[in-house]
Amino acid sequence: KAGVTQTPRYLIKTRGQQVTLSCSPISGHRSVSWYQQTPGQGLQFLFEYFSETQRNKGNFPGRFSGRQFSNSRSEMNVSTLELGDSALYLCASSTTTDTQYFGPGTRLTVL
Amino acid sequence: QQQVKQSPQSLIVQKGGISIINCAYENTAFDYFPWYQQFPGKGPALLIAIRPDVSEKKEGRFTISFNKSAKQFSLHIMDSQPGDSATYFCAASSPGGGSQGNLIFGKGTKLSVKP
């Protein structure tokens, strides 16, 4: 089975812009979770989608949003980018169990 | 109460030695404890995981030891190899996840295995 894929792998944006990241889960996985990884804060949970519905949400501002499509692919959007949004954004997919499989991430740099 | 505390922050081990990384938690609702390995430029990869009804789980050179009463768990890497040099994260989750997410991660341990 193919693993979790994320596109694009690298992004450079400027403050105030918005960005959309994409994640394709492992075939058959219906749950997609997003995490932000930074050197200072480590891995922090953003949100989880299951069958097109947001099931859990972390403590991030409303500028961070996401959605899931009927084929389980997911996108996350960050509006009005800030310098502090520079991070590695990771997507993880799972079935209905706890085991999560991570993609390679999208490295976002905000200038 | 939702935190997972991981130590040490960095670890240097000689080839063939044992690497030990420790984690502690407070939330007794946690019922799943995975360890992830991350190489630079890659996403975290699941290494091994344990549930509280088991005190130890071994997979190859990797062993998780779990102490429910102390609310601690640890990863032991036997016969450490230079290829094991990576950052290791412990994590924990509770049924249903919640606002803290499916997985709550420790801050990570950067392991360096010297040849």
User: Which stretches of chain B score pLDDT less than 70?
Assistant: 1-2, 96-101
B94 CB within 8 Å of a chain A CB: no
- Measured from the Cβ of residue B23, the count of other Cβ atoms closer than 10 Å reads 26
Cβ <8 Å between B99 and A59: yes
pLDDT tens digits, A9-53: 999 999 999 999 999 999 999 899 999 999 989 999 999 998 899
Distance from CA of B4 to the nearest CA of A (A): 12
Please report the pLDDT score of residue A99 as a whole number: 83
For residue A4, is pLDDT > 80? Answer: yes
Q: CB contact, 8 Å: A103 with chain B?
A: yes
Closest by CA to B91, choosing from B58, B60, B49, is B49
Instruction: Please give the pLDDT value at position B94.
Output: 80
Name the A residues in 69-88 with CB < 8 Å from any B CB.
none
- CB distance B1 to B26 below 8 Å: yes
7-46 in chain A: CB under 8 A from chain B: 31, 33, 35, 42-46
The pLDDT assigned to B93 comes to 87
Question: Do the Cβ atoms of B93 and A105 come within 8 Å?
Answer: no
Q: CA of B81 to nearest chain A CA: how many angstroms apart?
A: 23
- Closest residue in A to B51 (Cα) is A98
Cα distance from N-terminal residue to C-terminal residue, chain A: 37
Cβ contacts from A onto B, under 8 A = 67
